[in-house]
């Protein structure tokens, strides 16, 4: 597929235009967790522990739901690219029904958080606070799910800026509400960690209201017909969306759960290892935002080009996104290698933690290429509406390779005990397997001719 240099540059500009707001929005969302950590920590260590434990229930649940609803983005982008924007309103209405049902299921699940804490053996003194945090914060889960449905409409139509603006305004509101509720200002009682829960729930519903206002503007309302009528649940359409979305949610869940499991296993090695690993994970999370944004941009661009009947355009979008991600990975790896000590120094003054954290950043640098490649490749595959096989690849790579190899090397199951380094070797190997498989599948699918009427019919 010969491509003119100008076409490469034009496609890269489109990806950057779509991906930059996504990155900024993700950073703002991460900032809310940082705000809770800082403010709850200033209240007391007990409050911080409760917020941290509560967050370990709320955030994975939210990410799983968001992944399921993410089926809306490639579906809407494909319809938009095919000139069928008026049909996207019905897709969104069915997405709202999905949000209602999935939110109800998760609310029922997280209501059992206390049982889970006691089963794991969490410190009994922390359980009441963590359980109360989960119950209060979960009030906002339906709101944030509705927010994401409206957000994916905007994203699918190629406008990712509204979500960024809403996310940053929500971050500002989060800081203010924490100041009011956590420390007891403006006449409110000081609630400590529970104040973080109330602010979280309120901010989630604020995001919903703000994005609802966006999609009610004439540009979206008139083109999509979103508010033209009321729709009862269409179980066939919902089933089609679930077939696409459930694997997306499970793929993200498998990855996050694997990293969480590594943290729990590393906790057996002592506080220094846990602290150093948390720092390395935090730095890796920041570096990961760029390829994550490119992956989401690739999903939108690939879906749009396929909807417009341009196979070559879809392949170009996927390959340019992948190439840009690999180029960024090389740059990020160099920064992490040569600046690792200074970077870790921003997080801790503990000499032992700093030394181990700097060493772990070498692993982060080592797997930047494969981690960034898999994030972008999986985004491109979503544009092709290919989600089931990537889910299986993620399950095998993270739970079939990363965790067993990491635990075996880290805890000495294979006769060699490498401690925390063993876990990171396992993560690097697992990510390599996932990246190779996903990139190979993306390259293979992008060469395939697509039957557009059939794929559009199955999308809606």
The 3-class SS string of 394-419 reads HHHHHHHHHHHHHHHHHHCCCCCCCC
Categorize the per-residue pLDDT at 455 as very low, low, confident or very high, splitting at 50, 70 and 90. Answer: very low
Burial of 185-215, coded b for 16+ CB within 10 Å and e otherwise, reads eeeeeebbbbbbbbbbbbbbbbbbebbeebb
C-alpha–C-alpha distance, residues 20 and 355, integer Å: 33
pLDDT tens per residue, range 280-289: 877 887 888 8
- Whether the predicted pLDDT of 450 surpasses 90: no
Dihedrals φ, ψ of 220, to 5°?
-85, -45
Mean pLDDT of 51-67: 78
438 vs 126: which has the higher pLDDT? 438
Which of 207, 240, 235 has its CA nearest to residue 456?
A: 240
Please name the residues in contact with 325: beta carbons below 8 A apart, sequence gap of 6 or more: 290, 291, 294, 295, 372, 373, 375, 376
pLDDT tens per residue, range 82-115: 888 888 999 999 999 999 988 888 888 888 888 8
C-alpha–C-alpha distance, residues 403 and 109, integer Å: 25
Which token pair is 90? 């019905």
pLDDT tens per residue, range 167-199: 999 999 999 999 999 999 998 888 988 999 999
**In angstroms, how far apart are the furthest CA atoms of the chain?**
67
Which token pair is 165? 């603006």
pTM, two decimal places:
0.80
Mean pLDDT of 327-331: 92
Contact (Cβ atoms closer than 8 angstroms) between residue 180 and residue 186: yes
Q: What is the pLDDT of residue 251?
A: 86
Q: Give rounded-to-5 percent helix, strand, coil for the chain.
A: 85, 0, 15
Which residue in the block uniquely carries the two structure tokens 């990363």?
402
pLDDT tens per residue, range 300-321: 888 888 887 888 888 888 899 9
CA angle 138, 246, 319 (to 5 degrees): 115
pLDDT tens per residue, range 11-58: 878 788 877 887 788 788 877 877 887 777 777 767 777 777 787 778
C-alpha–C-alpha distance, residues 257 and 402, integer Å: 12
């Amino acid at each position: 597929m010969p491509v003119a240099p100008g076409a490469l540059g034009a496609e890269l500009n489109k990806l950057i235009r779509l991906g930059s707001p996504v990155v900024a929005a993700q950073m703002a969302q991460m900032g809310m967790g940082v705000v809770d950590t800082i403010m709850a920590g200033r209240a007391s260590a007990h409050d911080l522990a409760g917020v941290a434990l509560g967050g370990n229930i709320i955030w994975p649940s939210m990410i799983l739901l968001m992944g399921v609803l993410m089926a809306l983005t490639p579906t809407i982008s494909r319809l938009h690219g095919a000139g069928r924007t008026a049909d996207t309103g019905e897709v969104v209405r069915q997405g709202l029904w999905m949000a209602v049902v999935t939110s109800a299921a998760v609310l029922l699940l997280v209501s059992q958080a206390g049982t889970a804490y006691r089963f794991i053996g969490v410190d009994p003194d922390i359980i009441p606070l963590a359980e109360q945090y989960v119950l209060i914060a979960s009030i906002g889960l339906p709101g944030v799910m509705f927010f994401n449905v409206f957000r994916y409409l905007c994203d699918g139509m190629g406008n990712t800026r509204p979500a960024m603006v809403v996310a940053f305004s929500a971050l500002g509101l989060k800081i203010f509400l924490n100041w009011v509720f956590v420390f007891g200002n403006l006449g409110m009682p000081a609630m400590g960690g529970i104040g973080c829960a109330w602010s979280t729930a309120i901010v989630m519903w604020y995001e919903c209201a703000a994005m609802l206002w966006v999609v009610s503007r004439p540009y979206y309302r008139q083109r999509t017909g979103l508010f033209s009528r009321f729709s009862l649940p269409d179980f066939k359409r919902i089933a089609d969306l679930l077939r696409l979305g459930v694997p997306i949610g499970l793929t993200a869940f498998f990855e996050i759960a694997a990293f969480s499991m590594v943290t729990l296993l590393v906790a057996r090695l002592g506080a220094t290892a846990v602290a150093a690993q948390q720092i390395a994970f935090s730095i890796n999370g920041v570096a990961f935002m760029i390829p994550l944004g490119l992956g989401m941009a690739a999903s939108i661009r690939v879906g749009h080009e396929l909807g417009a009947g341009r196979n070559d355009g879809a392949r170009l979008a996927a390959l340019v996104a992948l190439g840009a991600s690999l180029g960024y990975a090389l740059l990020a790896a160099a920064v992490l290698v040569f600046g690792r000590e200074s970077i870790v120094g921003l997080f801790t003054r503990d000499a032992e933690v700093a030394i181990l954290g700097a060493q772990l950043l070498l692993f982060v640098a080592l797997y930047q290429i494969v981690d960034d490649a898999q994030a972008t490749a999986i985004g491109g595959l979503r544009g092709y509406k290919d989600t089931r096989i990537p889910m299986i690849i993620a399950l095998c790579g993270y739970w079939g390779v990363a965790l067993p190899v990491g635990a075996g090397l880290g805890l000495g199951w294979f006769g060699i005990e490498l401690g925390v380094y063993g876990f990171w070797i396992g993560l690097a190997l697992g990510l390599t397997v996932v990246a190779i498989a996903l990139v190979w599948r993306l390259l293979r699918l992008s060469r395939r001719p697509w039957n557009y009427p059939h794929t559009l019919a199955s999308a809606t």
